[in-house]
Amino acid sequence: MMPSSAEIIQAMDEISDTVCSVVDSAELCRHTHPDREFVEEANKASMRINEYLHYLNTNHTLYAAVKRAEQDDHLLTKESHRAAHNLRIDFEKGGIHLSSEKLDRVNQLNMDIFQLSRQFGENISIDPGNVDIFPASRIPKQIHHLLTPIHRFTSGTSGGSLGSWSNMKEKGFRIITEPRNLVSVLHWVADDEVRKMAYIQGNSVPRANLKVLDELIAARHELAQIMGYRSYAEFVVKQNLASSPEVVMSFLCEMSEMIRPKADQEFETIRNFKREKCGQRCIDLEPWDETYYTGMMKSSAHNLDSSIVASYFPLRQCIEGLKVLVKSLFGATFHNVPMAPGESWHPEVLKLSLRHPEEGDLGYLYLDLYSRKGKYPGCANFAIKGGRRISETEYQLPVVALVCNFSGSNSSNVRLNHWEVETLFHEFGHALHSLLSRTDFQHFSGTRVVLDFAEMPSNLFEYYAWDYRVLRTFAKHHSTGEIIPEKLVTSMLGARDMFAATELQRQVFYALVDQTLFGEQQALSRDTSSIVADLKRQYTSWKHVEGTHWQIRFSHLVNYGAGYYSYLYARCFAATIWKKLCQKDPLSLSTGTSLRTKLLQHGGAKEPSEMLNDLVGEGIVRYCNEGIVPDMTGFMDELRLVEDQQATKR
């Protein structure tokens, strides 16, 4: 007897659950395990499971069963219908509907893309670039600890009567120009020649990625064409809210135009400040000047000292802050859970359960917060298990890991810069999306949503890291216990918003580069560097530095190929939700209940536009050429970009 359509979809979700738990555990292990042997095994496991996944994705029996289920009107729920539809699309994205010859080529291209993507990332870590600076006095004390002391011998005359030659040992520093060091150098170093050398070096390595990126673009383009799309961007965006690259481009160009006057104005302000500081000998503002002068302008305008700010954010207290959020918004609490032997991958890892007084455990969260050698460099949320309904009475609880890289180790004195607090809250937003998810199928659990919706909850939770009503509940001085002064938070907000248009313009430029490189390829008979240079001149107030290839270190081109615009979608959606739902009382249970029941618990099981409208009513999405774009009003108001322009027009 044939299984029913509902049983087929259930079985497919179980297969997917089993495979995903291996893929996801291997991913986490690969990025966090301190033992090389485990990392190697995880690498092998991820290669093997990818091959197996590939075998499943090209299995015609499974495909036929899913197609039949999708057409069956007896599927009882909207979610199971959506699951059948999505599973079919996933099969077709793997090329199952193609002739065997084309399918072989697609398989080969997918393997190539996987390898090229990995290579791109490896090249970045192998070759971060470096610059040697002499004498050491050109480097300020604040960043000595980030750099490597070096020496060279210089010949000079000693004071002897015969002018005898001697070798002098001169001290200098080697700057490894990986992104975090580079930002510190650009922020602190007064010597513009040093900043220039570091900027150019950091933005022109690893050279090997010029070729890797070209090959990646070509492979993705060929893949899209075999699948019947005009470009890789079209292939990616089709399933998203935007639904076509044209919709994305019109959104980005509209935003670019709205912020241009304010961004130009900010550019002038920075240039005038530089001229005041160094007199007429500096005519122009260079890209390596931005971080240095804006940092100086922010701290003098708002009298801010980052170490004073950090003294109110001991990591211990920030974790308390996350607990305050779940307690106030969702009535839930975190509890430490002992781990089974071999469950943890490092002594500093904690396991917490999120518990609700009526509903019991909602899910599990691992915290791995401190930096160590060989660990994933940034902050990220790793899904380990998706939630799913097993039976009428049984639910598989979601499991996630929140991985960060805060300096220091498990001691009580780790303090965060405020941008790190913001990042922690951002990643916690992703974690909550997973932990509060109550979908029937793990296929839709938590963050398993369309790409241009995925970053919205995390962006919304960043607002909580800036709101004084939230900060005063946990931000306390590490030695006196004094609550962070409201005046200090006001200054932090002022500094944050000082160059908001410049920062936003940069994000729009990144998204335009991503769309263009993976867009239709007649434009791409030229090399990627000249395309990037043209876009920078056209869409930003800043000039392009000849000989730099910023794109070869932009790993989002690999992870988010043709999807980087999603961050800007998320920021617009989050701004509207904050304004209409959260701002009045960000910590109220009713705010949390709306967030949970209308948005977070549905993961990807409902249409995103339906959830957004349900959450805040009209005025969050706009319909444009059969696609959906966010309403920008809330976001632009918040950055005070719109009224400024109206004033200019008047």
- Looking at residue 640, its pLDDT comes to 85
For the chain, percent of residues with pLDDT exceeding 90: 86
Residue 51 pLDDT level (bands cut at 50, 70, 90): confident
Average pLDDT, the chain: 93
Q: Is the peptide bond before 206 cis (omega within 30 degrees of 0)?
A: yes
Q: What is the pLDDT of residues 478-523, one digit of tens each?
A: 999 999 999 999 999 999 999 999 999 999 999 999 999 999 986 5
Residue 168 confidence (pLDDT) = 86
Q: How long, in residues, is the chain?
A: 650
* The predicted structure's pLDDT at residue 125: 86
pLDDT-derived band at 552, boundaries 50, 70, 90:
very high
Q: What does the block give as tokens for 592?
A: 């949390």
Q: How far is CA 478 from CA 315, 316, 323, 474, 573, in A?
A: 10, 9, 18, 11, 35
pLDDT at 57 over 50: yes
The predicted pLDDT at position 84 comes to 97
pLDDT digits (tens, 9 = 90+) for 179-236: 989 999 999 999 999 999 999 999 999 999 999 999 999 999 999 999 999 999 999 9
| pLDDT score at 373 | 86
In the predicted model, is pLDDT for residue 477 greater than 90? Answer: yes
Q: At what angle do helices 642-649 and 245-278 cross, to 10 degrees?
A: 70
* pLDDT at residue 76 in the model: 77
Q: Please determine, for residue 167, whether its predicted confidence score (pLDDT) is greater than 80.
A: no
CB-based contacts of 293, cutoff 8 Å, min separation 6: 270, 273, 274, 277, 285
**Percent of the chain predicted with pLDDT > 70:** 96
Relative to beta strand 399-406, strand 360-370 is parallel
Tell me, what's the pLDDT at 50? 87
pLDDT single digits (tens) 283-322: 799 999 999 999 999 999 999 888 999 999 999 999 999 9
Evaluate if residue 396 carries a pLDDT over 80.
Answer: yes
- Sign of the torsion angle spanned by Cα atoms 226, 232, 236, 241: negative
Distance of CA 345 to the CA centre of its chain: 24
| Beta strands at 148-157 and 130-133: parallel, antiparallel or unpaired | unpaired
Question: What positions carry a catalytic annotation?
Answer: 427
More confident residue, 87 or 522: 87
Beta strands in 339-474, from DSSP E residues, in sequence order: 350-356, 360-370, 380-385, 388-389, 395-396, 399-406
Name the residue with higher pLDDT: 160 or 140: 140
pLDDT at 180: 86
Confidence (pLDDT) at 42: 96
Q: Which residues contact 327 (CB under 8 A, 6 or more apart)?
A: 333
Contact 557, 510 (CB under 8 A): no
Q: Does the pLDDT value for residue 135 go beyond 80?
A: yes
**Taking the model in full, what pTM does it have?**
0.94
The mean per-residue pLDDT over the stretch 619-629 comes to: 95
The model's pLDDT over 89-127, given as tens digits with 9 standing for 90+, comes to 999 999 999 999 999 999 899 989 989 998 999 999 899
Instruction: Give me 535's structure tokens.
Output: 């876009």
Rounded distance, CA 402 to CA 345, Å? 13
Position 650 confidence tier, pLDDT thresholds 50, 70, 90: very low
User: Inter-axis angle of helices 5-32 and 36-57, to 10 degrees?
Assistant: 150
Give residue 374's pLDDT band: very low, low, confident or very high (50, 70, 90).
confident
Higher-confidence position of 500 and 375: 500
Confidence at 165, pLDDT banded by 50, 70, 90: low
Q: pLDDT at position 319, please?
A: 96
Q: Are 385 and 22 in contact (CB under 8 A)?
A: no
